[in-house]
Amino acid sequence: MIPAQEALQRLQDGNRRFVSQLDADWKQEHVRRKELVTDQEPFAIILGCSDSRVPAEIVFDQGVGDLFVIRVAGNIVAPSQIGSIEFAAERFGTRLVVVLGHSQCGAVTATLDALQQPGGTASRNLLSIVDRIQPTVQTLLETELRHDRHALMHQAVRANIRASVNQLRHGSQILENLVEQGGLRIVGAEYALETGSVEFLDMV
């Protein structure tokens, strides 16, 4: 079992390699794939956005079997995502969960648009995503940020990441117990489309 702090360091180191454009040795991946046919030991669980520009394995320069990745628009937390994280944390002993949001998130943009311009034609299914993000960004629209779309978007993305982290920390008895007694760590991070860098939020 890899401790959360070591897992976090591996992600940070991998992202630095990614930003530096150092090529991973992908030739070894076919060998690794055969080794993982009957078992896996991912060292981190990533709850990320479905955005095609944010592939976690590439962003963190990790290979086959290294990450247990769950992707959903807006990196929202719903029962299926919680269940998937519980499964990986219990079954594989993975001790780090990262909620990975990103700049210019389309789901956050859609939520802001829905709040600022009600009555759009979004599908019921898209609205189910928007509804999960809305409570977090609604409060931002009640501040001076509503006059600065760029700053509003930046803060909304981060608020959404933090909300998802909070939901995972307090929305599952299994995860709560693992945090309190099993060394599980749940952190938020933002990927910058502009630079390729990942900033881990609220690190202590």
- Which of these ranges, 70-74, 145-149, 199-203, has the smallest mean pLDDT? 199-203
| Residue 30 confidence (pLDDT) | 58
pLDDT digits (tens, 9 = 90+) for 73-89: 999 999 999 999 999 99
Q: At what angle do helices 149-170 and 124-138 cross, to 10 degrees?
A: 100
Assigned CATH topology for domain 4-201: Beta-carbonic Anhydrase; Chain A (3.40.1050)
Query: How much is the average pLDDT of 133-153?
Result: 93
Backbone angle region of 202, left / alpha / beta, with phi > 0 → left and psi within -120 to 50 → alpha = left
Burial class (CB in 10 A: 0-12, 13-18, 19+), 123: exposed
Residue 140 has pLDDT above 60, yes or no: yes
20: exposed, middle or buried (Cβ count in 10 Å: 0-12, 13-18, 19+) = exposed
Phi-psi region of 119 (alpha: psi -120 to 50; beta: other; left: phi over 0): left
Tens digit of each residue's pLDDT (9 = 90 or more) over 30-42 = 566 677 777 888 9
Q: Supply the pTM of this predicted model.
A: 0.87
pLDDT, tens digit, 9 for 90 and up, residues 162-173: 999 999 999 999
- 118: Cα separation from own chain's centroid: 28
Both structure tokens of 44: 């981190």
